[in-house]
Structure 1
């Protein structure tokens, strides 16, 4: 909900942008976690002794579900790369995803034109190692401080 509000505020602040500028400016990215609930399914029994054989008392359970993270990017110019990995991501792995997937997608979608990269305020995104990497490569980032977006290296009027 907070991210939705922040995006709304950003859009509201940029209402004067032309359609062409919107289409040719922002590379949006996001990630999602998926838990895979198949494999070694056990049964957890919640019952009293008199209901020991009642099938309604059995509940399927998974001790440690496998999880996958999916990262992708897109712009009005088209879809970028999609990347899938197991487990959680830390800043070093996030930088690898940016190098292997965001940079080629950016080159392909914007063909050398400048663009602004958007990601949320997840810890791997805001880690000093990540912000330094983005700064060294002169990647303009749509940043959020408090509840208002601003541009890290360029301010538009």
Structure 2
């Protein structure tokens, strides 16, 4: 049997309100369509803590890079689009109490919508349309030699993480 999703704050309020109005646990369960265990648990939590919200939203690991950190990382990229992940991480960690790893930097950049491919560069350069299949077969290679494009920006392939683009 699978786990059902949490009750919203509104549904929790309905349970508490119905119980406070004098309905029994079984009557509230039948009326709202929840199990008696759920109704009694929600009402017990409310009567002990006077809170109807679920604590489930606060579980899990906290993000190391919050909204402010994301804006800071975005400004670092805008300042130097040619920076590598290692350089961005070092600049981000400079003066920070909580440092982050390069992996966290990559994950945050991906969440922000950045990629490593330069803007306008095709993933695979197109083959020369004037080159025939016989020319390719006679040269012995299975792939045609890519021709340099004059309209494409220059890409420096010496650095791995060159050029962050949105």
Question: If the length of structure 2 is used for normalisation, what is the TM-score?
Answer: 0.22
Which one has more relative contact order, counting CA pairs under 8 Å at least 6 apart? 1
State the structure with more CA Rg: 2
Q: Relative to total residues, which structure has the larger helix share, 1 or 2? A: 2
Question: If the length of structure 1 is used for normalisation, what is the TM-score?
Answer: 0.22
